[in-house]
Structure 1
Amino acid sequence: MTSPTLPRSRTASGTTYLDEGHGEPLVLIHGVGMRLEAWTPQIAALSAMRRVIAVDMPGHGGSQRLVQGARLPDFVDWLGRFLDDLNLTRVALAGHSMGALIAGGAAATFADRIERVALLNGVYRRTAEARAAVMSRSLEIDRGHVDLAAPLSRWFSSSEIGGEPYALVRDWLASVDIAGYGTAYAAFAEGDAVYADRLSGVACPALFLTGEHDLNSTPDMSRQMAAAVRNGVAVIVPGHRHMVNLTAPQIVNAALAEWLERDGAA
């Protein structure tokens, strides 16, 4: 699964992206601290079915940052501008982690542009204890105390340490723009409830996928989101944690392929 730096294009507003394949567009948004290469297994598999557009989130990869203090609705607005820049009127949209929050916000905000939506390892209505923990981490980043080893311990099991996905994610985290990371993490920390009350209005085919042992984007969260929408399916990947798109790519690709073919009727 070696992932060299993939070729990028850049919009006039400063967002970098990869555009591969033909057909109806599928847009992929990665999580905090990552870059579009995190979708390498999905780009390879799904570009045979669709035009796949993997995008660097603001302040990540080659994309320009949002202003300090930007929150989740600002990231959703950024996505809308990106779709405008590429003249995309209607897309399938998949996001991982923070990307899932953006994707969910887009489905709630401009549903007419979202053909179907997939939230991988998404968070939803955290418990008070979980919210306090993630807010504490966000405040530490604001103070300049960035522990890039801690996410790895949450995202990977002990048996996965030293594997290729672990090494790739470690390297991406080590090279992240700290200011961009901090802004995105602050939006992520408070983002689980921003669009939660509007999820019931999502009518397009929706997929909610996470790892069985994901410590923060839990299976219960995925099941609750699937139950809240009109056309939702929850998929729980046995034995995996947060980076399932890299650690269980065949399972994830199969789930995404099924979602892309699912009947669009609400």
Structure 2
Amino acid sequence: MTWTTQPRSETEGISFIRAGTGSRLYLVHGVGLRAEAWMAQVKDLSATQHCRAFDLPGHGASRALPRPATLAQYTDRIAAAIDAPGVVAGHSMGAMIALDLAVRHRHLVKGVAALNAIYCRNPKAAEAVRRRAADLSATELNDPETTLARWFAGQDTAARRACRAWLAEVSAEHYKAAYEVFAAENGPADADLARLSCPALFMTGGAEPNSTPEMSKAMARIAPQGRAVIVEGAAHMMPMTHAVPVNAELAVLIRDASR
């Protein structure tokens, strides 16, 4: 699998890769990445779905939000780019956005997948992510190797090399803006999880140090139609490194959402 730059469409200041026909599958990536991070899903699932992989605001070719931004502003910008109800899958910060969409824009969301999502960080983890946000420069990108080691559990793969290139290209200002939102949030509120009215998949890696299996299991217990799946051996970049099980579970979610 390679992650080369793809042609894009644009609406409401959001750029996106699109492929396939059928019901909608919307894909939202995490901080520092771009829509190409979803290409393993787009190539597989576009056989039966109309896939749209968005660039986050300030990432790829999408217009940035004014600073300081909030999670709700990121969500609302993505919501404005959704042209028909469908399944929404998000990864990392994209999972925060996907769940927020399912709560506040529920008319747009038939099913939601939160991949490598955080929930109720413990004090040590919360302090660590806030410290990482504070250490970021708005004018100069940090060395990505520490981040990549965390994301890929120390493995050097084509996926890691693609992420290294994307992290080297992203705007330092917009990366910091998004990461500050990611660090300030602590995952969905229990009351919001309990209000989810659609099928919800919470999926993470067994080797994920931050968006832990316990977090996904806890969210799935609260969501009325929640389901937790843990991929053994997967770390943070699970959609890229373990696309086969991710795609299989997304296909189940799509089926459940169509009932």
- TM-score of the two chains, using structure 2 as the length reference: 0.95
Q: Unaligned regions of 5+ residues in structure 1, if any?
A: none
Residue aligning to 2:2: 2
Q: Which residue in 1 is equivalent to 2:147? A: 151
Any residues of structure 2 matched to 1:1-266 within 5 Å, and which? 1-11=1-11, 13-83=12-82, 87-88=83-84, 90-142=85-137, 146-158=142-154, 160-161=155-156, 163-193=157-187, 195-262=189-256
Counterpart residue identity of residue 255, structure 1: E
2 CA distance for matches of 1:170 and 1:49?
A: 31
Query: Deviation at 1:197?
Result: 3.4
Paired positions, count: 258
SS of equivalent residue, structure 1 residue 68? coil
User: Unaligned regions of 5+ residues in structure 2, if any?
Assistant: none
C-alpha displacement of 1:140: 0.9
Q: Which range moves more in the overlay, 56-65 or 140-149?
A: 140-149
Deviations 1:212-257 (A, max 9, x none): 0101000000001111100011110011100011111111111111
Q: One-letter code of the match for 1:50?
A: Q
TM-score, with structure 1 as normaliser: 0.93
1:30·1:97 contact (CA, 8 Å) conserved in 2?
yes
Q: Are 2:137 and 2:172, in contact at CA under 8 Å, matched by a contact in 1?
A: no
The 1-side partners of 2:22 and 2:138 are apart by 45
Confirm or deny: 8 A CA contact 2:58 2:65 kept in the other structure: yes
The alignment partner of 1:189 has SS state of: helix
The letter for the 1-side match of 2:165 is D
Q: What residue identity is the alignment partner of 2:39?
A: T
How far has the Cα of 1:192 moved from its partner?
2.1
